[in-house]
Chain A
Protein backbone atom coordinates (compact mmCIF):
# COMPACT_ATOMS: atom_id res chain seq x y z
CA UNK A 1 0.00 0.00 0.00
CA UNK A 2 1.57 3.28 -1.18
CA UNK A 3 -0.48 5.47 1.16
CA UNK A 4 -2.09 7.30 -1.76
CA UNK A 5 -5.84 6.81 -1.97
CA UNK A 6 -8.07 7.31 -4.96
CA UNK A 7 -11.83 7.19 -5.24
CA UNK A 8 -13.78 5.77 -6.89
CA UNK A 9 -12.02 2.59 -8.03
CA UNK A 10 -14.32 2.17 -11.00
CA UNK A 11 -16.56 4.61 -12.83
CA UNK A 12 -18.89 3.89 -15.71
CA UNK A 13 -20.58 6.80 -17.42
CA UNK A 14 -21.95 7.94 -20.75
CA UNK A 15 -20.54 10.22 -23.43
CA UNK A 16 -21.10 13.89 -22.76
CA UNK A 17 -21.15 13.47 -19.00
CA UNK A 18 -18.88 14.99 -16.35
CA UNK A 19 -17.05 13.11 -13.59
CA UNK A 20 -14.76 13.96 -10.69
CA UNK A 21 -11.90 11.76 -9.57
CA UNK A 22 -10.50 12.25 -6.10
CA UNK A 23 -7.02 11.69 -4.70
CA UNK A 24 -5.56 11.91 -1.22
CA UNK A 25 -1.75 12.02 -1.17
CA UNK A 26 0.50 10.29 1.33
CA UNK A 27 0.79 12.07 4.64
CA UNK A 28 3.43 14.77 4.34
CA UNK A 29 3.54 14.82 0.53
CA UNK A 30 3.01 18.25 -0.97
CA UNK A 31 3.06 17.33 -4.64
CA UNK A 32 0.25 15.59 -6.50
CA UNK A 33 0.37 14.34 -10.08
CA UNK A 34 -2.31 13.04 -12.40
CA UNK A 35 -1.70 10.51 -15.17
CA UNK A 36 -3.83 8.83 -17.80
CA UNK A 37 -2.97 5.29 -18.86
CA UNK A 38 -4.63 3.90 -21.94
CA UNK A 39 -3.70 0.96 -24.13
CA UNK A 40 -2.81 3.03 -27.17
CA UNK A 41 -1.22 6.06 -25.47
CA UNK A 42 0.66 4.48 -22.60
CA UNK A 43 1.16 6.50 -19.43
CA UNK A 44 0.60 10.20 -20.08
CA UNK A 45 1.38 12.92 -17.59
CA UNK A 46 -1.55 15.29 -17.22
CA UNK A 47 -0.82 17.84 -14.52
CA UNK A 48 1.07 18.44 -11.29
CA UNK A 49 0.20 20.49 -8.22
CA UNK A 50 2.52 21.50 -5.43
CA UNK A 51 1.06 22.78 -2.18
CA UNK A 52 -2.07 24.02 -3.88
CA UNK A 53 -0.44 25.62 -6.91
CA UNK A 54 -0.23 24.26 -10.43
CA UNK A 55 3.42 23.34 -11.04
CA UNK A 56 3.56 21.57 -14.41
CA UNK A 57 1.16 20.81 -17.20
CA UNK A 58 1.42 17.89 -19.60
CA UNK A 59 -0.97 16.50 -22.17
CA UNK A 60 -4.13 17.62 -20.43
CA UNK A 61 -7.14 18.35 -22.61
CA UNK A 62 -9.08 21.59 -22.19
CA UNK A 63 -12.10 19.50 -21.17
CA UNK A 64 -10.12 18.32 -18.15
CA UNK A 65 -9.25 20.40 -15.11
CA UNK A 66 -7.77 19.75 -11.71
CA UNK A 67 -7.15 21.45 -8.42
CA UNK A 68 -5.42 20.80 -5.13
CA UNK A 69 -7.19 21.89 -1.98
CA UNK A 70 -5.73 23.37 1.24
CA UNK A 71 -5.82 19.91 2.87
CA UNK A 72 -3.70 18.77 -0.13
CA UNK A 73 -6.23 16.37 -1.59
CA UNK A 74 -6.75 16.79 -5.30
CA UNK A 75 -9.60 16.38 -7.75
CA UNK A 76 -9.49 15.78 -11.48
CA UNK A 77 -12.60 16.89 -13.35
CA UNK A 78 -13.35 15.39 -16.73
CA UNK A 79 -16.17 16.92 -18.75
CA UNK A 80 -17.90 16.35 -22.11
CA UNK A 81 -16.60 12.81 -21.91
CA UNK A 82 -15.79 10.92 -25.10
CA UNK A 83 -15.30 7.22 -25.71
CA UNK A 84 -11.55 7.82 -26.02
CA UNK A 85 -11.39 9.11 -22.45
CA UNK A 86 -11.85 5.55 -21.19
CA UNK A 87 -8.62 4.79 -19.34
CA UNK A 88 -6.99 4.17 -16.00
CA UNK A 89 -6.37 7.46 -14.20
CA UNK A 90 -3.59 7.47 -11.66
CA UNK A 91 -2.81 9.95 -8.99
CA UNK A 92 0.69 10.02 -7.53
CA UNK A 93 2.28 12.04 -4.76
CA UNK A 94 5.76 12.99 -3.68
CA UNK A 95 7.35 15.02 -0.92
CA UNK A 96 8.78 17.61 -3.29
CA UNK A 97 8.69 18.03 -7.07
CA UNK A 98 11.79 15.99 -7.74
CA UNK A 99 11.40 12.94 -5.52
CA UNK A 100 10.13 9.55 -6.50
CA UNK A 101 6.39 9.41 -6.87
CA UNK A 102 4.11 7.02 -5.08
CA UNK A 103 1.08 5.98 -7.06
CA UNK A 104 -2.47 5.37 -5.95
CA UNK A 105 -4.40 2.29 -7.09
CA UNK A 106 -6.01 4.21 -9.95
CA UNK A 107 -9.57 4.92 -11.07
CA UNK A 108 -10.75 2.93 -14.06
CA UNK A 109 -13.06 5.12 -16.13
CA UNK A 110 -15.28 3.55 -18.76
CA UNK A 111 -17.20 5.85 -21.07
CA UNK A 112 -20.06 4.13 -22.93
Chain B
Protein backbone atom coordinates (compact mmCIF):
# COMPACT_ATOMS: atom_id res chain seq x y z
CA UNK B 1 0.00 0.00 0.00
CA UNK B 2 1.12 3.54 -0.71
CA UNK B 3 2.27 5.42 2.34
CA UNK B 4 1.23 8.79 0.90
CA UNK B 5 -1.57 9.28 -1.61
CA UNK B 6 -2.20 12.46 -3.53
CA UNK B 7 -5.21 11.86 -5.74
CA UNK B 8 -5.18 15.15 -7.65
CA UNK B 9 -2.56 15.07 -10.40
CA UNK B 10 -3.51 18.59 -11.51
CA UNK B 11 -5.48 21.47 -10.02
CA UNK B 12 -6.45 24.91 -11.24
CA UNK B 13 -7.35 27.88 -9.05
CA UNK B 14 -8.24 31.48 -9.78
CA UNK B 15 -5.83 34.07 -8.47
CA UNK B 16 -6.81 35.32 -4.96
CA UNK B 17 -9.00 32.25 -4.33
CA UNK B 18 -8.24 29.52 -1.80
CA UNK B 19 -7.36 25.99 -2.85
CA UNK B 20 -7.11 22.67 -1.01
CA UNK B 21 -4.62 20.00 -2.04
CA UNK B 22 -5.48 16.55 -0.77
CA UNK B 23 -3.17 14.13 0.98
CA UNK B 24 -3.94 10.89 2.78
CA UNK B 25 -1.38 8.76 4.55
CA UNK B 26 -1.07 5.21 5.76
CA UNK B 27 0.75 4.32 8.94
CA UNK B 28 0.24 2.26 12.07
CA UNK B 29 2.84 4.32 13.88
CA UNK B 30 1.65 6.62 16.69
CA UNK B 31 4.52 9.03 16.18
CA UNK B 32 4.92 10.55 12.76
CA UNK B 33 5.32 13.87 11.03
CA UNK B 34 3.62 15.27 7.97
CA UNK B 35 5.20 17.77 5.61
CA UNK B 36 4.35 19.71 2.50
CA UNK B 37 6.91 20.79 -0.06
CA UNK B 38 6.63 22.98 -3.14
CA UNK B 39 8.62 22.36 -6.31
CA UNK B 40 8.47 25.22 -8.84
CA UNK B 41 9.46 24.67 -12.46
CA UNK B 42 13.01 25.67 -11.55
CA UNK B 43 13.28 22.35 -9.74
CA UNK B 44 14.19 23.20 -6.17
CA UNK B 45 12.17 21.69 -3.31
CA UNK B 46 10.89 24.24 -0.80
CA UNK B 47 9.65 23.27 2.66
CA UNK B 48 6.23 24.80 3.40
CA UNK B 49 4.69 23.40 6.56
CA UNK B 50 4.95 20.66 9.18
CA UNK B 51 2.41 18.87 11.40
CA UNK B 52 3.36 16.43 14.13
CA UNK B 53 1.07 13.52 14.91
CA UNK B 54 0.66 14.70 18.51
CA UNK B 55 -0.08 18.31 17.60
CA UNK B 56 -3.62 19.24 18.60
CA UNK B 57 -3.82 22.38 16.52
CA UNK B 58 -3.59 22.56 12.75
CA UNK B 59 -0.28 24.01 11.58
CA UNK B 60 -0.27 27.38 9.84
CA UNK B 61 2.53 29.26 8.08
CA UNK B 62 1.44 32.49 6.49
CA UNK B 63 -0.96 31.66 3.65
CA UNK B 64 -0.44 27.92 4.16
CA UNK B 65 -2.39 25.83 6.61
CA UNK B 66 -2.53 22.10 7.11
CA UNK B 67 -5.96 20.59 7.71
CA UNK B 68 -5.01 17.62 9.88
CA UNK B 69 -7.71 14.99 10.42
CA UNK B 70 -6.00 12.20 12.30
CA UNK B 71 -8.88 9.73 12.37
CA UNK B 72 -9.27 10.02 8.60
CA UNK B 73 -5.49 10.01 8.11
CA UNK B 74 -5.61 13.08 5.98
CA UNK B 75 -3.31 16.10 5.89
CA UNK B 76 -4.65 18.49 3.29
CA UNK B 77 -2.80 21.67 2.41
CA UNK B 78 -4.87 24.83 2.15
CA UNK B 79 -3.41 27.79 0.30
CA UNK B 80 -5.33 31.00 0.84
CA UNK B 81 -5.34 34.01 -1.49
CA UNK B 82 -3.53 32.17 -4.30
CA UNK B 83 -0.84 34.03 -6.18
CA UNK B 84 0.62 33.41 -9.62
CA UNK B 85 3.87 32.38 -7.95
CA UNK B 86 2.05 29.50 -6.26
CA UNK B 87 1.96 27.62 -9.57
CA UNK B 88 4.14 24.59 -8.90
CA UNK B 89 4.16 20.91 -7.96
CA UNK B 90 3.22 20.24 -4.36
CA UNK B 91 4.37 17.14 -2.52
CA UNK B 92 3.00 15.70 0.68
CA UNK B 93 5.45 13.68 2.77
CA UNK B 94 5.46 11.65 5.95
CA UNK B 95 8.22 10.77 8.36
CA UNK B 96 7.57 7.55 10.19
CA UNK B 97 9.45 6.86 13.42
CA UNK B 98 8.93 3.09 13.42
CA UNK B 99 10.74 2.74 10.09
CA UNK B 100 13.69 4.67 11.46
CA UNK B 101 12.46 8.11 10.49
CA UNK B 102 12.21 7.25 6.81
CA UNK B 103 10.55 9.86 4.67
CA UNK B 104 7.86 8.93 2.15
CA UNK B 105 6.70 11.30 -0.56
CA UNK B 106 3.49 11.35 -2.57
CA UNK B 107 3.39 11.63 -6.34
CA UNK B 108 2.57 15.31 -6.19
CA UNK B 109 -0.16 17.68 -7.35
CA UNK B 110 0.49 20.22 -10.07
CA UNK B 111 -1.18 23.51 -9.18
CA UNK B 112 -1.80 26.18 -11.78
CA UNK B 113 -2.98 29.62 -10.70
CA UNK B 114 -5.02 31.40 -13.35
CA UNK B 115 -4.91 35.19 -13.50
Contact = CB atoms under 8 A, between A and B. Distances in A.
Interface in A38-94: 42-45, 48, 55-56, 58, 88, 90, 92
Contacts of A105: 43-44
Taking residues whose C-beta sits less than 8 angstroms from the other chain, chain A's interface range is 20 to 34
A15 interface: no
Taking residues whose C-beta sits less than 8 angstroms from the other chain, chain B's interface range is 20 to 34
Contacts of B99: 56
B43 to A, nearest CB: 6
A106 B46 CA distance: 12
B44 A106 contact: yes
Given A42-B105, A43-B105, A106 B100 contact: no
B68 interface: no
Interface of B: 33, 35, 37, 43-47, 50, 91, 95, 97, 99-108
Interface of A: 2, 33, 35, 42-45, 48, 55-56, 58, 88, 90, 92, 97-98, 100-103, 105-106
